[in-house]
Amino acid sequence: GEPIRVLVTGAAGQIAYSLLYSIAKGDVFGKEQPLVLVLLDITPMMTVLEGVVMELQDCALPLLREVIPTDKEEVAFKDLDIAILVGSMPRREGMERKDLLKANVKIFKSQGAALDKYAKKTVKVVVVGNPANTNCLIASKSAPSIPKENFSCLTRLDHNRAKSQIALKLGVSANDVKNVIIWGNHSSTQYPDVNHAKVNVKGKEVGVYEAIKDDSWLKGDFILTVQQRGAAVIKARKLSSAMSAAKAICDHVRDIWFGTPAGEFVSMGVISDGNSYSVPEDLIYSFPVVIKDKTWKFVEGLPINDFSREKMDLTAKELTEEKETAVEFLSSA
């Protein structure tokens, strides 16, 4: 078949190092789909990137038709089918969140404009670089000719973390747990919600609350563990999550490409327009979605209790504030 063009930005970084092999060997787009991998990073990283290219060549992968390393947006964004935007300005010590937003608005405004100008209009764009939700919104606003629905940000890592915590608590396999939800921002205000989640215990599907029988854990430590897991990994490894982030990106993109399994939904940050959960419009907010024919839809009609409502509103408030700050910078960037 015809190869598809896949861009990974921040391609010399540690998440990409875990991600590129999985994509190139067919874990994401299937074992029949040839690929052209386009790798973008900043100019000082070009030598490191050459090393990554050598290693990809040395993997001798049958699906990998071409690897294009570049520091130029006009090369990177040309005719793309998929863009995975991993590169962003990391938070340095002593840096205010505002400064971080400002630096990233500049990057994602520029990359959004490049998508608008060079990529296919059908391109699917996944933003991983933090603050992911707001970076995603800025990229989308900077690419007006590409449908808003084509942009999503990664909350699958949080989703997988939640799923895994439940599985560990019950001593079951992670794939025995389904339909956990991450609502809101990919930050410590995110709300991991298991009110609608199901777990397979000894061949019988039961609700997570019923299976665990420990409401105070589910409303307390469970939520905190998922919200703060990224920080816990950094504290232990002195580096941020890379293997698990790369795995989550693969899950997210594979589900966009092939759809979600029947009876299951997943979490992703998508444009909030038209949602039925009283989340303000024009935010990239993580919702439960189902995907078919490369198109996502909100999971509708889930009852929301007062505990959930409060947490969903809190993360929406943070996203609204982030957006306001970012949009101010956008006009000056």
Give the separation between CA 15 and CA 201, rounded to whole angstroms. 34
Amino acid 191 reads Y
The answer to whether the CB of 234 falls within 8 A of the CB of 149 is no
Q: CA-to-CA distance for 38 and 30, rounded, in angstroms? A: 18
Q: Does residue 252 carry a catalytic annotation?
A: no
User: For residue 128, what are its two tokens?
Assistant: 């991983």
**Residue 2, token pair as written in the block:** 């015809």
Helix (H) / strand (E) containing 6: strand 4-9
* 185 annotated among ligand-binding-site residues: no
Residue ranges of alpha helices (H) inside 191-305 are 208-212, 215-219, 221-227, 229-237, 243-258
- Is residue 91 part of an annotated ligand binding site? yes
Say which DSSP state 213 is in.
Answer: -
Name the packing angle between helices 97-118 and 132-141 (round to 10°): 40
Question: Is 104 known as a binding-site position?
Answer: yes
Q: Report the C-alpha gap between 265 and 165 in whole angstroms.
A: 18
Q: Is 94 annotated as a binding residue?
A: no
Instruction: Name 39's Cβ contacts closer than 8 Å, sequence gap at least 6.
Output: 7, 8, 11, 12, 16, 20, 49, 52, 53, 67, 68, 69, 70
CA separation for the pair 298, 288 (Å, rounded): 6
Q: Of 159, 186, 196, 252, which residue is the catalytic one?
A: 186
CA distance from start to end of the chain: 41
41 annotated as belonging to a binding site for a ligand: yes
> Do β-strands 64-70 and 82-85 pair in parallel, antiparallel, or remain unpaired?
unpaired
User: What single-letter amino acid sits at 32?
Assistant: E
What is the Cα–Cα distance from 14 to 257, expressed in whole angstroms?
A: 24
Would you say 208 is a known binding-site residue?
Answer: no
Structure-derived torsion over alpha carbons of residues 21, 104, 148, 196, reported in degrees to the nearest 10? 70
Q: Binding site: what residues are annotated?
A: 41, 91, 97, 104, 128-130, 161
Q: Binding site for NAD(+): what residues are annotated?
A: 41, 104, 128-130
**Which residues are part of the catalytic machinery?**
186
Q: Binding site for substrate: what residues are annotated?
A: 91, 97, 130, 161
